[in-house]
Amino acid sequence: MADVLDQTEVDALLSAVDSGIGQQMEPEAPSKPRARQQEIHTYDFKRPERVSKDQMRSLEAIHEGFARNFGASLSAFLRTIVEVRVATIEQLTYSEFIHSLPNPTCFNLLSASPLEGQLCLEISPLIVYPIIDRLLGGSNAELFIPQRPLTAIEWRLVKRITDRAVACLNEVWSSLVHVKFELTETESNPHLVQIVAPNEVVVVIGLELKMGTRAGTMTLCIPFNVIEPLLGRLATQSWFNYHRRESPPSQAVQIRRNIRLAAVEVRGFLATSTMTVTELLNLQPGDILTTDKPANSDVVLQVEGINKFAGRVGKFRTHRAIKITRKTDRGEEM
């Protein structure tokens, strides 16, 4: 139907209004309440969310600790302040992760024994070259970032950085599982490395590194098959349960060894008695003090002011000595 009225139809309408014979509009029926609109989310079957939000938060908490430790280690090594923080954490496919990286870049493969699979640690050239310049004595002033692969000498220098990152990963992941990360391979072109299928889900943790006026990113890619055995431990409730783990036996041995070298004060109390100030002032050499304690009773030994042992007074070679006979209670009378 045409949306525009011709002149004849317009005249007919005007005459109907003037004569008052126009049909009155019927009152509208009360509108029915609208059904509550449901919120609809798009689900992409190519990118399933295989790691829950709670587990992602646990991973973020672990690597926030890694960022602090790595920043402190890097600052001490480079002798300048290096800030490291977790910027993003998300789930992607491995293909999306690889295509998001620059080429060339500093791409490192890590093994995580006894877990299966490999992890990727990528460091942006925007921060790699300033770090190399710092290690070689430069000032980073107006540093040009070359678009080329790292040389053999530069890889040797970068390895000193990745070794510290691997050590910090071993430290923070030890609260989750006993794992040993090791650097297995390096590559400049990330497109030449395929550790999982292109459509496999990976957890990508992006960290931001700042050194003076320079800034860059470091990205840790964890395939789902690596963390799949640990998903139960990554739940929020379980995380707080095992986060405080027992100290390793080596730490207990070290503490015990250090305590043995500590000096403590030991006192032996023969007896206690009371007297007036006048009697105290009138004491002379040779005076005898009497007590209520029998002569054949044990002597109390105090260690740092606490009753610990009881023993008998005697002589060892040319020295006065006390032979320990038993342990005593803290409240035992002296």
- pLDDT tens digits, 65-108: 999 999 999 999 988 899 999 999 999 889 999 998 888 999 99
Are 303 and 271 contained in the same domain?
A: yes
Cis ω for the linkage preceding 114 (within 30 of 0): yes
Whether 244 shows a pLDDT value over 60: the answer reads no
Which residues contact residue 117 at a Cβ distance below 8 angstroms, ignoring those fewer than 6 apart?
Answer: 195, 196, 223, 225, 226
Between 6 and 65, name the one with better pLDDT.
65
Are 142 and 218 contained in the same domain?
A: yes
Are 144 and 269 contained in the same domain?
A: no
How large is the average pLDDT for residues 202-212? 91
**How many whole angstroms separate alpha carbon 156 and alpha carbon 109?**
15
Are 247 and 281 contained in the same domain?
A: no
Are 298 and 152 contained in the same domain?
A: no
CB 59 within 8 A of CB 204: no
Phi, psi of 188 (to 5 degrees): -95, -30
In the structure, what pLDDT confidence band is assigned to residue 33 with cuts at 50, 70 and 90? Answer: low
Are 248 and 271 contained in the same domain?
A: no
Residue 258 in any domain: the answer is: no
- Alpha-carbon 303 to chain mean position: 41
Quote the pLDDT of residue 237: 45
Question: Where in the sequence is the domain holding 282, given as residue range(s)?
Answer: 263-327
Kindly report the number of other CB atoms within 10 A of residue 133's CB atom: 17
Strands (E), 250-329: 266-269, 299-303, 306-316, 319-327
Residue 333 in any domain: the answer is: no
Cis ω for the linkage preceding 104 (within 30 of 0): yes
Whether 42 shows a pLDDT value over 80: the answer reads no
Cross-strand bridge partners of residue 320: 315
Residue 238 in any domain: the answer is: yes
Read off the tokens for 93.
Answer: 């496919």
Which residues contact residue 303 at a Cβ distance below 8 angstroms, ignoring those fewer than 6 apart?
Answer: 264, 265, 266, 309
CB 200 within 8 A of CB 117: no
Domain boundary among 209, 231, 252: 252
Between 245 and 148, name the one with better pLDDT.
148
Residue 153 in any domain: the answer is: yes
Single-letter amino acid code for the residue at 263:
A
Cross-strand bridge partners of residue 167: none
**How many whole angstroms separate alpha carbon 147 and alpha carbon 189?**
12
**How many whole angstroms separate alpha carbon 16 and alpha carbon 22?**
5
Are 177 and 67 contained in the same domain?
A: yes
Residue 35 in any domain: the answer is: no
Residue 334 in any domain: the answer is: no
Are 178 and 285 contained in the same domain?
A: no
| Mean per-residue pLDDT of the chain | 81
Cross-strand bridge partners of residue 84: 209
Read off the tokens for 94.
Answer: 């491995």
Whether 122 shows a pLDDT value over 90: the answer reads yes
In the structure, what pLDDT confidence band is assigned to residue 207 with cuts at 50, 70 and 90? Answer: very high
The candidate with the shortest Cα–Cα distance to 202, out of 181, 226, 183, is 226
Strands (E), the chain: 82-93, 106-113, 118-123, 180-187, 201-211, 214-223, 266-269, 299-303, 306-316, 319-327
Domain boundary among 227, 252, 277: 252
The CATH number assigned to the domain holding 281 equals: 2.30.330.10
pTM equals 0.57
Which residues contact residue 322 at a Cβ distance below 8 angstroms, ignoring those fewer than 6 apart?
Answer: 268, 299, 301, 311, 312, 313, 314
Are 62 and 204 contained in the same domain?
A: yes
Domain boundary among 194, 227, 252: 252
Are 201 and 124 contained in the same domain?
A: yes
% of the chain exceeding 90 in pLDDT: 22
Q: How many angstroms separate the first and last alpha carbons of the chain?
A: 116
Between 17 and 210, name the one with better pLDDT.
210
The candidate with the shortest Cα–Cα distance to 176, out of 223, 106, 231, is 231
- 163-183: per-residue pLDDT in tens? 999 999 999 988 888 889 999
The CATH number assigned to the domain holding 62 equals: 3.40.1550.10
Residue 91 in any domain: the answer is: yes
Please tell me the total count of domains within the chain: 2
Tokens 């027992």, residue located:
246
Are 272 and 154 contained in the same domain?
A: no
Residue 215 in any domain: the answer is: yes
Are 124 and 223 contained in the same domain?
A: yes
